Chains A and B, each alone.
Chain A
């Protein structure tokens, strides 16, 4: 079955949560479809290039599936509305690009602290500031990590194709419910605007929210279960919970003491770190016999693959470690690869953000060559090849 997804056709029957079939769509649209297929019922955002196609598609699609789209007055409001909607009992998402991502930071912290499941998409463009609104960048990777104030853990996924944008959006919703945490999709302008084949399966799992198992009198809204995640009682369910961004105890009540604070912050981190191996996704390509490993993610990893192929043609044993989960950083995967090769090359559209993590994770046991570009264009495979050759020189 082939579904054309022209604007008109997309206005199909209201029960069309999953547009099963083969589509030709861009990464932004694939994210929107992934969200709707995953059961997202609320989307709040403010338009920004190169995210607008997500918002536009959500505006068209959500009313068809009984959901709500609202264009907010700014990204501060969009992020706040998403958190509110999540507490109203639905799956909620927002999408933006760099400037809006900056505005969302405070409330991303609120979502972390209040353990609110939600999905935040950043279609990265050239930055800092207004930068290159229509052109690609990957400069928000560190902001994704710790852009909101305070110490916390977050989950961030980075797709390299529209198909993966769809798949990861579905997974992002599942992770957000599983860990009660905002999950970030750190994509970029090129993946967002690139049209490719996207296959939407007949069935897409809808993650269930963890609900209280005891009556309201016995319920402690921030008492975690064994896996450190507490069940969530949403508004109107009779549990009358108090939810605050202040440091709080298991009752959800503010508690202004260092012990409660330490306990809470550690749990918020630990609930993710303890289970990170379950969702540390990466792909190893041609690494078995590799002497040089290229580490990359998102659109850059696709170019990096081209560079690796060029190197192989020249007889250089190169391979690719493609990061899909970027945060928490896949330390172990990087270290294991570093132990096997003579050098690492990091390709990214910034001047070395993930490269720092690669250096940290590999503990400096091999030289690292950065192939960096500040933004506005993707790399060429030749630049990646040059990086591979360069790092081999270091060794000699």
Chain B
């Protein structure tokens, strides 16, 4: 009998026989993933899965929605109801999903370009409404998927493929943007802070309303390489050096400026009626008035 050629590449076993403890939440038949070595997306993913595990949330009641990009591929690896939508539209998709089925814990996982350039309008409006979703943004300061172009968070003077002479645009401070648009839970971590990130995701998943976590991640292939942070480890060392953990800081002053210290931690944790709570209140009023 002729040998059958395997269709997919054999899965590399880094530590033979050892399985990822969170494997039950992964589509293992889709591994290996497409992310570059040194990318922080894997850490963001496992932090999220550990958060689900530790909270004991029924994974059948979690829906993950992504846009398009490297971060957008997140939805493809989680073994939950997961939606890989269009570029920039993860948030409105998630809003519709949540309103149709309020029992779901709806989590948007996407990139800085997806959520803040092409999808920026949806972000601020979902935050304004205090829509009942959690948005996790993996910020790698550039457009990873398309080859490292300038994005809305690219720092001043950073080199990208479309800012070859150094970026001269002003970037967004995402935590400030989220807070001022009305998000009721706002935090920032880097993928170096895996455990704190996990705890923060746990808080967000339990916090009613619009929750936002910025997850700063290395992108050695596209960003670091062009900006004197050749290896992912260099970028991690940089975070270890520059990230200052502080809670309750005014997000307005919490920009991420190259070469300077920057704040990570929780910026906002407040309670405000959510979109669904207000909608229910309205319909109850209506029922009382008209029977």
> Cβ of B291 and Cβ of A14 under 8 Å apart?
yes
A80-112 interface with B by 8 A CB criterion? 80-90, 92, 106-107, 110
> Cβ of A84 and Cβ of B76 under 8 Å apart?
no
The residues of B that contact A372 with a CB separation of less than 8 Å are none
Q: Does A42 have its Cβ within 8 Å of any Cβ on chain B?
A: yes
A113 CB to closest chain B CB (Å) equals 10
> Cβ of B287 and Cβ of A14 under 8 Å apart?
yes
> Cβ of A107 and Cβ of B86 under 8 Å apart?
yes
> Cβ of B81 and Cβ of A12 under 8 Å apart?
no
> Cβ of A107 and Cβ of B100 under 8 Å apart?
no
> Cβ of A84 and Cβ of B84 under 8 Å apart?
no
**Given known contacts A73-B122, A235-B104, A236-B101, A241 and B81 CB-to-CB distance under 8 angstroms:** yes
B86: which of A44, A106, A240 is its contact (CB, 8 Å)?
Answer: A106
The residues of B that contact A265 with a CB separation of less than 8 Å are none
A107: which of B29, B30, B89 is its contact (CB, 8 Å)?
Answer: B89
The complex places the Cα of A42 from the Cα of B286 at a distance, in Å, of: 18
> Cβ of B122 and Cβ of A90 under 8 Å apart?
no
The residues of A that contact B291 with a CB separation of less than 8 Å are 13-14
Q: Mark B69-97, 1 if CB is under 8 A from A, else 0.
A: 00000011001111111101101111111
Q: How many A-B residue pairs have CB under 8 A?
A: 154
Which of A81, A83, A234, A237: most chain B CB closer than 10 A?
A: A81
Q: Does B282 have its Cβ within 8 Å of any Cβ on chain A?
A: yes
> Cβ of A84 and Cβ of B65 under 8 Å apart?
yes
Q: Mark B117-141, 1 if CB is under 8 A from A, else 0.
A: 0000110010000000000000000
The complex places the Cα of A12 from the Cα of B282 at a distance, in Å, of: 16
Q: Does B237 have its Cβ within 8 Å of any Cβ on chain A?
A: no
* Nearest-neighbor residue (CB-CB) of A88 within chain B: B100
> Cβ of A84 and Cβ of B59 under 8 Å apart?
no
Q: Does A212 have its Cβ within 8 Å of any Cβ on chain B?
A: no
The residues of B that contact A240 with a CB separation of less than 8 Å are 59-60, 79-82
A310-332 interface with B by 8 A CB criterion? none
Q: Does B159 have its Cβ within 8 Å of any Cβ on chain A?
A: no
Q: Does A76 have its Cβ within 8 Å of any Cβ on chain B?
A: yes
> Cβ of A243 and Cβ of B82 under 8 Å apart?
yes
Q: Does A273 have its Cβ within 8 Å of any Cβ on chain B?
A: no
**Given known contacts A42-B99, A88-B100, A236-B104, A83 and B61 CB-to-CB distance under 8 angstroms:** no
Q: Does A194 have its Cβ within 8 Å of any Cβ on chain B?
A: no
The residues of A that contact B84 with a CB separation of less than 8 Å are 242-246, 254
The residues of B that contact A11 with a CB separation of less than 8 Å are 286, 290
The complex places the Cα of A251 from the Cα of B101 at a distance, in Å, of: 24
The complex places the Cα of A90 from the Cα of B98 at a distance, in Å, of: 11
The residues of A that contact B13 with a CB separation of less than 8 Å are none
Interface size of A by CB at 8 A reads 49
Q: Does A386 have its Cβ within 8 Å of any Cβ on chain B?
A: no
A46-92 interface with B by 8 A CB criterion? 63-64, 66, 68, 70, 72-74, 76-78, 80-90, 92
> Cβ of A235 and Cβ of B96 under 8 Å apart?
no
Q: Mark B215-231, 1 if CB is under 8 A from A, else 0.
A: 00000000000000000
The complex places the Cα of A348 from the Cα of B18 at a distance, in Å, of: 68
Q: Does B178 have its Cβ within 8 Å of any Cβ on chain A?
A: no
> Cβ of B99 and Cβ of A88 under 8 Å apart?
yes
**Given known contacts A42-B99, A44-B96, A76 and B89 CB-to-CB distance under 8 angstroms:** yes
The complex places the Cα of A73 from the Cα of B99 at a distance, in Å, of: 16
Q: Does B27 have its Cβ within 8 Å of any Cβ on chain A?
A: yes
A216 CB to closest chain B CB (Å) equals 9
* Nearest-neighbor residue (CB-CB) of A70 within chain B: B99
The complex places the Cα of A322 from the Cα of B89 at a distance, in Å, of: 38
Q: Does A150 have its Cβ within 8 Å of any Cβ on chain B?
A: no
B265 CB to closest chain A CB (Å) equals 30
B128 CB to closest chain A CB (Å) equals 9
> Cβ of A88 and Cβ of B60 under 8 Å apart?
no
> Cβ of A73 and Cβ of B59 under 8 Å apart?
no
Q: Does B168 have its Cβ within 8 Å of any Cβ on chain A?
A: no
> Cβ of B83 and Cβ of A243 under 8 Å apart?
yes
The complex places the Cα of A260 from the Cα of B76 at a distance, in Å, of: 18
Which of B79, B83, B91, B96: most chain A CB closer than 10 A?
A: B96
B85: which of A234, A245, A253 is its contact (CB, 8 Å)?
Answer: A245
> Cβ of B96 and Cβ of A12 under 8 Å apart?
no
B97 CB to closest chain A CB (Å) equals 4
The complex places the Cα of A73 from the Cα of B94 at a distance, in Å, of: 14
> Cβ of B92 and Cβ of A81 under 8 Å apart?
yes
A-B pairs with beta carbons under 8 Å apart, 23 shown: A13-B290, A14-B286, A42-B100, A44-B96, A63-B282, A63-B286, A77-B91, A78-B92, A80-B85, A80-B89, A81-B96, A83-B85, A84-B85, A84-B95, A88-B101, A235-B63, A235-B81, A235-B101, A236-B81, A238-B60, A240-B82, A242-B84, A251-B29
Binding site for A on B (CB under 8 A): 27, 29-30, 59-61, 63, 65, 75-76, 79-86, 88-89, 91-101, 103-104, 121-122, 125, 279, 282-283, 286-287, 290-291
Binding site for B on A (CB under 8 A): 11-14, 41-42, 44, 63-64, 66, 68, 70, 72-74, 76-78, 80-90, 92, 106-107, 110, 234-246, 251, 253-254
Considering the complex of A and B, which 3 residue pairs feature the smallest CB-CB distances, nearest first?
Answer: A88-B100, A84-B96, A81-B96
